[in-house]
Amino acid sequence: MASPFAEAIGDFHTALKMRPVWMALAQEDIGEQHRRTTLGPSWLLINYLLLVGTFIVVFGYQTDPRAFARYAASGMLVWLYITDIVTLSTSLFVREASFIKGTRLPFSVYVLRLLMQAIIRFGYMALGWAGIMILTGAPVSPGWLWIVPALAVILLATVPAIIVFAVSGAFFPDLQFIMQNLVRVGMFLTPVFWGMDGRIAGLRGHLYTFNPFTHFLEMFREPVLHGTLPVPSFVICTAITLALWPMALYLLGKTRRQIVFVV
Amino acid sequence: MSGASIKASEIGLTYRLMRRLSFARGRHAPVHHRVETEGRKQFVTALDGVSFELSSGDRLGLIGHNGAGKTTLLKVLYGVYEPTSGSVDISGRVDALFNINLGFRQEATGRRNIVLRGLVTGWKLDQIEARMDEIIAFSELGDFIDMPLKTYSAGMSARLAFSIATSFDPEILLMDEWIGAGDADFRQKAQTRMRELTEKAGIIVLASHSKELLGRVCNKVMTLEDGAIKSLQSIDEWKAAQ
């Protein structure tokens, strides 16, 4: 039997070549969630604007409202993307049971399909984000280009994260509900809308520094707000990504043959 | 088409019955296969030492009680399960018709499902588009083709599934008890198509409880019991033994 890594890489490689399949399935997912609705996927945009708008109204009075709007909008954009990934991936293989038991698609097809789905959802929210940037007169500078590597790292971390959550969720179904709760609490434990004033001492400081999600948020937010690259956050996120990949490949390779029996 | 073949040698499939790591204890799906306990671990032997060879034009019927391993064997041949021992050598493009709920999207229209199935089987969009009208015509679904699959009757779903699976030129077709759902006319059409497929040097493996159906379609019959081959006979031997 091949090593778990070789098996997982083979699985992933085959899946990459099946791009039309996961693209079509991802489109299907987005369409299906909004079938029979009038506004369709625009609801994703509305959800985002409502959430960010609420935070701006409730917390924006204490500081520069425009800067706060940009701070909260950027933080929320990345946070909601993370939320999507975490909650959708724990139940991924169970939701796909019909295809897993009825076809021989590589498992990575489902992973890439979820990634695609999350990117489409991110795209709709990014429209709202861009609107807020324009309305608040954000000073666009060359420093904004740091957004590109930031998004690249986020993307590269997403794939192994989906694999780890999806495999764990298949063997440990309760994880789905644990993560749902953690994510709900996580919005407050992560500096999505607080921390702009720099008052991050004490417990808040620890939450800020030792929360890995902070750094994924800051990596995107700092270029937007200050046009600079947050080097420490960048290093931390890259390290997390590099650690996630071997873990994900090992888990996938090790459990690939058993998944069909547990979902 | 250059002659399909299947060579299975000593296939075994044993899997561990996962006591899912869950806070919810003590719920187990009933299993019909052989369950062995080793310490706290439970293992299910779903297939045990299954060997056979099929070549162009063969139509193998699988018969046996529920849980004898018919579907499991089909899924091993299709590649959904990987055997834990032995090996399967298959040459030829394989398509399979399992339970209609497997590998179809209930929310999507019939037309969309044709596209998805085609992509999953490895065809390109233009190739699928080229076959679309023929598939729809064969399925006799008419305007229903643009309705979601969940609105279909069991027979309509089966017709669509059969039309799709047989339209993408499979050289080996695996079928699991699908035919009960179609009406008499469609069954007739389906049989004609299956005959054409085997005449083009294809192979059919069909699991069914219907002896009458196996008698009409197959040239070999394999009787499975507890995951092992009880007998593998030509259709005449099998009929004589009934």
Higher pLDDT, A257 or B62: B62
**Chain B nearest C-alpha distance from A121 (Å):** 20
Predicted pLDDT of residue A113: 94
Residue A165 has a pLDDT of 97
What's the pLDDT tens digit per position in A145-166?
Answer: 999 999 999 999 999 999 999 9
Q: Cβ contacts (< 8 Å) between A18 and chain B: which residues?
A: 119
Task: At B64, give phi and psi (nearest 5°).
Answer: 155, 165
**Would you give per-residue pLDDT tens digits along chain B (242 residues)?**
457 899 999 999 988 876 655 555 444 554 555 777 777 777 888 999 999 999 998 999 999 998 889 999 999 999 999 899 999 999 998 988 887 778 888 888 999 999 999 998 888 999 999 999 999 999 999 999 999 999 998 888 888 998 998 888 889 999 887 655 567 888 888 888 888 888 887 899 999 988 888 888 899 999 999 899 999 999 999 989 88
Mean pLDDT of A89-110: 92
Q: How far apart are CA B157 and CA B163, in angstroms?
A: 10
The tokens for A8 are 């997982």
Nearest to B22 among A24, A35, A174 (CB): A174
**Within-domain flag for B143:** yes
Out of A24, A32, A262, closest to residue B119 by CB: A24
Tally the C-alpha atoms within 13 A of residue B239's C-alpha that lie toward its C-beta: 12
We report the CATH number of the domain holding residue B171 as: 3.40.50.300
The count of structural domains within chain B is 1
Q: What is the mean pLDDT of residues A133-138?
A: 93
What is the pLDDT at residue B30? 47
Give the pLDDT of residue A221: 95
- A261 contacts in chain B (CB < 8 Å): 15-16, 18
CB atoms inside a 10 Å sphere around CB A200: 17
d(CA A178, CA A172): 10
Residues of A in contact with B118 (CB under 8 A): none
Contact B119 A257 (CB under 8 A): no
Is residue B105 domain-resident?
yes
The average confidence (pLDDT) of chain A is 91
Contact A262 B18 (CB under 8 A): yes
Residue range(s) defining the domain that contains residue B96: 55-82+92-241
pLDDT band at A110 (very low <50, low <70, confident <90, very high): very high
Q: ipTM for the complex?
A: 0.82
B23 and A174: CB-CB below 8 Å?
A: yes
pLDDT of B182: 66
Find which of A104, A109, A256 to mutate to test the B interface (most B CBs within 10 Å of its CB).
A104
Is B28 contained in some domain? Answer: no
Distance from CA of B186 to the nearest CA of A (A): 24
> In this complex, do B120 and A35 lie within 8 Å of one another by their Cβ atoms?
no
Report the DSSP beta bridge partners of residue B221.
B61, B233
- The full set of domain ranges for chain A reads 4-262
Q: Using CA atoms, how far apart are residues B192 and B131, in angstroms rounded to an integer? A: 19
Mark yes or no for CB contact A257/B20 under 8 Å: no
Mean pLDDT of A32-58: 87
Q: Does the beta-carbon distance from B80 to A35 stay under 8 Å?
A: no
Confidence at residue B1, expressed as pLDDT on a 0 to 100 scale: 47
* Mean per-residue pLDDT, A99-124: 93
- Pairwise CB contact (< 8 Å): B102 & A21: no
